[in-house]
Structure formats: structure tokens, C-alpha cells
């Protein structure tokens, strides 16, 4: 059967539906052209979702356009087939696995977005997702709609340039920096101009992201190039723009070092180095960034890695001032509604980096190095290189017992190190955004801690974790398990996890729909933040309300359940844990 419906002057929808076959839908995007999508079903109620998986919003950023601001896509004539996922932006683990014949300049043509809608003639609130991955990894296809589209929202997942292609900067017009962020801004403009053709309401846009995606969303709040009309609500999941890893403090120096790793002659004038970088094969650029990142991580920490962080200043215009300076000035948006938080054990993913580094240096079992150097080393690796020892002193007083420090045993010190990582890398930056919004915005701010530990985890992200003497806990990005059915092995949820997913979908989508995160499935009323410490919602089974978010800075060390993060290795370890729990009972917050 053929159904043709002209729904508005700018929209022609053609549904080609055949018995026992997938329904194809064609949408005419006003001012651009036609796209032909496909369909999927929601996970629980089997509602039909129209999906458009590879809609270009910018011209290919290749050749002279490499490193530069995106150029809006030009109109096209023939209908574009967008029924399959788009090409991921170049990144390690994907691009370097392609057959040699596929690695051409065309693989940089990746600036597309995916739109998911149940009704192209509706006027649903819009949720725009910015993926995480350290500004280095990720793709739109990793965030399918099958959970969120149980509710009446339109979902958009954006791809943006990653790594050096998106974030390298010499602070010049040739390589200005922040190209990936300008990609996101252009995608948001595309949403304003065209989402109505897919049944979305451009006046009700919530931008949300996780990890680097959350840092990107945060940065949008402090950038003068982002009109306030582009969105009115944000959700920050485990990331903020004041994170030490989010801003490159030495972009020109780092760009030269990456160029050196790529084989460019950095002794020549900067213009020659820039030309070399522009002409590099993409794999050479990826490898050079990898080498630079490994060297900087080992010797300076996450806050000094170039090519995968935003830059302040320069001709891009995206961040004329550091976000923290904008916050301190009070010259911030006062019309944003915010929901933000972190996972309970957000630090475990960074402690794997610390553990592997110390193991490679044969220092894991070094009693003296653990006694005297471990905390400073952790601080430096996670982004704070403080020489006086004052910060380490406060951390030791708050997170470790005298017996733990004297033992020099990494396993005994581990819970506190997890808290240091989680606080520096994730939780403190998130709280900065929350405090700023609660202080200045006329709209509500909501804060959470995701504490739930279900059957599945993203600890290790598919890599072997058996050698670590700790578990992931409520790990970084575990919250997304319940919002997006990805990867495949975490899509089969047991009964308890299914309920948590349904609640998470309730909270996220209700916030997008009417600005109030809520669920009728046993969740207490979520109070808005009314001061610098909360209150905040513990997302767990059962749910509860916390009053002082600073408690989350020491949650692993002071929580009696912290022992659940430590693997049982031997009878002696069991005995040690028993003693440790007795000690911790006197220090519990």
C-alpha cells in the first residue's frame, strides 16, 4: 500500500509499507532535500520509531577545510538514503582497522546526525545527545532510541570531529581550534532550522551529554557564539567544562609536539608545520596523537594532553574566556534549567590508568613509593600538579587512616584513590556547573548521584579487567546502560535492571517534556538545588535524598560498602578487609 500525506507546506511524507516488511519513510527537509529513513521499535512497548541515521549537516571537512569551522551542508537534489548508520569520525580502534583501500580523505566526511521520531507530524520536545569519549572516541550509532522513545520525545544524536581533527589548535586562522565544538553548534542550528520536519519542537530543546559530551554541553553555556534560543535545558552526566581534561592549556606547544610525532619538521616556521599537519594522512595524525597522549599522560597528567580538548582564545571565538572565569564574573545565562550528576564510583575508570602506569613501572608493590608518592602521583595524573603537598595532606586526612598509609599497600589505599580520581576528574567540575546554575539561573537545577549497580557494567569497556584488584562499582557511563541499549551484551536486562531503565527514562524524558524530572515508580519527589551542597537524588534501589553532595567526594573511603570494590584475593586480604571495615566504621560520614 502507498500512503501520501502532505502535512504542511514544508513537509512531504511518503510511507511505503509492505506486509511483513520494514516501513520506509521519506521526509522533505525544507531548504535541503529529501531523506529516506528506516524504522525500528521501542524496546518494551514495540512502538514504531522512524530513524534517519546519517543526515549530513555540514560539508565534508576535508582538504583546506581540515581543522576549520564547519560549512553548512548545501541542498541536494536526489533523495538521500539515510537508513543506515553514518561513517564514524576518524578515531583509533575504528579507522585504523579499516582495509587500506578504504582509508582515503573521504573518511573525514563524518559530520552527520541521526534523528529518531515516532511521528513526523507531531510537535514533541527534542533531546539532542552529545556523545562522550574524551573528545577522542565515539559515534552517534552507539546511542539508539529504543528506550528513550518509549516516551513522546524526538531524539537527535550528533557526530562531531574528534581528536586532532576536531580539537588541535595553533591559535591561528589555519588551525584555530574548537572545530569539534563548532560542529556541535552548527548541528544545534540545524535542529532549530529543520527539526520541525521530523515532528520536533525547536522551542523545547534539551541538550544532554555524558563525560566529554557533558563537558561540551557545559561549554555551550559559556560560549558567546551559542544563541540562547538553541536550547533551554541541559543534562550533564559526569562531565563539566571546568574539568582539567576539558581545556588544553598549551595548545600551540602541544600541536607542535603532535606534529613532531607525525614526522613534521617543527624547527621550521609555524606556517610550514601547519601545512604539514593539514596534508598528513589521517592515520599518521591519529598515531601521532596517540604517542603524544601516552607521553603526556605518563609525565604530566590528563590536563596537559593536546589535540583532544577545547582551547580558550584564538580566532575560533568559541571560548574567549575560560568557563571558570565566566562563572566568576556572573555574566552567565540565567534562563537555563539544569539536571546534572555523576556516578558513585566515577573514579574507577581513571584508577585503571594509574594502576597500569604504576604496574609498568613496577611500583604497585613499592611500599615507600605508595607511602610517599602515590597521592601526589594520583593528583598529577588526574589533573592537579600541586607541589607543596597541601592538597595531598587534606586528602590523606579525609580519605585514609594512619594504618592504611603506613601499610604502603596499594589495595588498602585504593578506595581513597578512587575518590580522588572521581572528585578531581568528574564530581567537582559537575558541582561547579550545578552551583553556578543554582546561583544565577531563574530556572530550576537538579542534582543526582547514580549509585545503582546492576548486572552489567562498562568497567573496562570490553577490555580484560581481571588483573585489577578492584571492581568498577557504579562505574563511569554505567548510567547510560539504562538510557541506551548499547553495546549488545548489555541490552538483555534482568527484571531489576529493566525497572531501573524504565525509571531512568521517566526521569530524563519528563525533564525534557516539562522541566520536572519525575517517575511514579517508587521515586520520591526530586527537590531542586537550593544551596551549594544540594539537596540531591540518590538514583538507586531504593531511591533516597541526600543533603550534602560533598559526601560524594569521599564515598568509597567512608562507605562501609567500599569493600565491595575490592576483589577477594586471599585469606590475608580477607583478614585485612575485616580490620579495615572496623577502622572505617569510626570514620564514616
Beta-sheet pairing, 48-56 with 38-41? antiparallel
Q: What's CA 510's distance to the chain center, in Å?
A: 21
The Cα–Cα gap between 149 and 302 comes to 36
User: With 60 as the cut, is the pLDDT of residue 425 above it?
Assistant: yes
CATH domain 2-248+316-329 topology: Rossmann fold (3.40.50)
Question: Which pTM was predicted?
Answer: 0.91
Class of domain 337-585: alpha beta
Mean predicted lDDT score pLDDT of the chain: 90
Q: What's CA 470's distance to the chain center, in Å?
A: 24
Q: Are 552 and 447 in contact (CB under 8 A)?
A: no
Q: Are 342 and 238 in contact (CB under 8 A)?
A: yes
Cα separation of the two ends of the chain: 66
pLDDT value, residue 586: 33
The Cα–Cα gap between 540 and 551 comes to 16
pLDDT value, residue 386: 84
Q: Are 283 and 95 in contact (CB under 8 A)?
A: yes
What's the sign of the alpha-carbon dihedral 248, 390, 214, 566?
positive
User: With 90 as the cut, is the pLDDT of residue 91 above it?
Assistant: yes
* pLDDT tens string 37-66: 999 999 999 999 999 999 999 999 999 999
Reported as a pLDDT band with limits 50, 70 and 90, residue 195 is very high
* pLDDT tens string 352-391: 999 999 998 989 999 999 999 999 999 998 988 888 989 9
Q: Where along the chain do its domains lie? A: 2-248+316-329, 253-300, 337-585
Domains 2-248+316-329 and 337-585 share a fold: yes
The Cα–Cα gap between 581 and 50 comes to 53
pLDDT value, residue 233: 99
Number of neighbouring beta carbons within 10 Å of residue 87: 19
Q: Are 429 and 302 in contact (CB under 8 A)?
A: no
The Cα–Cα gap between 423 and 555 comes to 10
Amino acid at each position: 500500500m502507498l500512503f501520501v500525506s502532505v502535512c504542511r507546506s514544508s513537509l512531504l511524507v511518503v510511507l511505503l509499507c509492505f506486509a511483513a516488511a520494514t516501513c520506509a519513510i521519506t521526509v522533505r527537509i525544507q531548504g535541503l532535500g529529501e531523506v529516506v529513513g528506516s524504522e525500528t521499535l521501542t524496546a518494551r512497548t514495540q512502538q514504531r520509531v522512524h530513524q534517519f541515521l546519517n543526515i549530513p549537516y555540514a560539508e565534508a571537512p576535508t582538504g583546506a577545510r581540515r581543522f576549520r569551522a564547519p560549512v553548512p551542508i548545501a541542498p541536494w537534489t536526489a533523495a538521500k538514503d539515510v537508513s543506515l548508520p553514518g561513517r564514524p569520525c576518524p578515531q583509533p580502534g575504528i579507522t585504523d582497522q579499516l582495509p587500506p583501500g578504504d582509508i582515503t580523505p573521504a573518511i573525514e566526511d563524518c559530520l552527520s546526525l541521526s534523528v529518531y521520531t515516532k511521528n513526523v507530524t507531531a510537535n514533541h520536545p527534542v533531546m539532542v545527545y552529545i556523545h562522550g569519549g574524551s573528545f577522542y572516541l565515539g559515534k552517534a550509532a552507539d546511542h539508539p532510541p529504543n528506550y528513550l522513545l518509549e516516551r513522546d520525545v524526538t531524539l537527535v544524536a550528533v557526530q562531531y570531529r574528534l581528536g586532532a581533527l576536531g580539537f588541535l589548535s595553533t591559535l591561528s586562522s589555519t588551525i584555530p581550534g574548537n572545530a569539534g565544538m563548532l560542529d556541535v553548534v552548527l548541528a544545534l542550528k540545524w535542529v532549530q532550522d529543520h527539526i520541525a520536519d521530523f515532528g520536533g519542537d525547536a522551542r523545547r530543546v534539551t541538550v544532554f551529554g555524558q563525560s566529554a559530551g557533558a563537558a561540551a554541553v557545559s561549554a555551550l553555556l559559556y560560549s558567546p557564539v551559542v544563541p540562547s534560543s538553541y536550547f533551554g535545558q541541559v543534562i550533564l552526566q559526569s562531565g563539566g567544562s571546568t574539568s582539567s581534561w576539558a581545556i588544553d592549556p598549551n595548545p600551540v606547544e602541544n600541536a607542535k609536539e603532535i606534529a613532531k610525532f607525525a614526522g613534521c619538521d617543527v624547527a621550521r616556521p609555524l606556517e610550514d608545520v601547519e601545512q604539514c599537519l593539514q596534508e598528513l594522512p589521517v592515520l599518521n595524525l591519529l598515531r601521532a596523537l596517540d604517542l603524544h597522549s601516552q607521553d603526556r599522560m605518563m609525565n604530566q597528567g590528563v590536563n596537559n594532553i593536546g589535540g583532544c580538548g577545547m582551547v580558550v582564545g584564538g580566532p575560533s571565538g568559541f571560548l574567549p574566556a575560560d568557563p571558570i572565569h565566566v562563572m566568576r564574573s556572573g555574566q552567565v545565562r540565567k534562563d537555563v534549567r539544569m539536571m546534572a550528576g555523576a556516578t558513585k564510583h566515577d573514579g574507577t575508570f581513571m584508577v585503571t590508568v594509574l594502576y597500569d602506569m604504576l604496574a609498568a613501572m613496577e611500583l604497585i608493590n613499592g611500599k615507600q613509593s605508595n607511602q610517599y608518592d602515590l597521592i601526589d602521583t594520583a593528583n598529577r595524573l588526574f589533573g592537579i600538579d600541586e607541589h607543596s603537598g597541601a592538597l595531598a595532606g587534606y586528602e590523606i586526612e579525609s580519605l585514609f587512616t594512619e594504618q592504611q598509609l603506613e601499610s604502603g599497600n596499594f589495595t588498602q589505599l585504593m578506595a581513597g584513590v578512587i575518590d580522588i580520581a572521581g572528585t578531581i576528574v568528574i564530581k567537582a567540575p559537575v558541582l561547579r556547573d550545578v552551583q553556578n546554575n543554582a546561583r544565577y539561573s531563574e530556572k530550576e537545577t537538579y542534582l543526582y548521584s547514580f549509585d545503582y549497580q546492576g548486572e552489567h557494567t562498562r568497567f573496562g569497556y570490553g577490555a580484560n579487567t581481571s588483573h585489577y584488584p578492584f571492581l568498577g562499582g557504579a562505574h563511569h557511563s554505567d548510567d547510560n546502560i539504562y538510557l541506551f541499549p548499547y553495546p549488545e551484551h548489555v541490552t538483555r536486562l534482568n527484571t531489576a535492571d529493566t525497572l531501573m531503565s524504565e525509571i531512568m527514562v521517566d526521569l530524563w524524558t519528563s525533564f525534557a517534556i516539562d522541566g520536572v524530572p519525575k517517575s511514579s515508580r517508587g521515586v520520591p519527589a526530586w527537590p531542586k538545588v537550593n544551596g551549594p551542597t544540594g539537596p540531591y537524588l540518590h538514583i538507586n534501589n531504593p531511591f533516597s535524598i541526600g543533603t550534602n553532595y560533598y559526601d560524594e567526594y569521599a564515598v568509597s573511603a567512608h562507605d562501609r560498602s567500599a569493600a565491595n570494590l575490592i576483589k577477594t584475593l586471599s585469606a590475608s586480604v580477607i583478614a585485612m578487609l575485616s580490620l579495615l571495615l572496623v577502622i572505617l566504621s569510626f570514620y564514616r560520614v
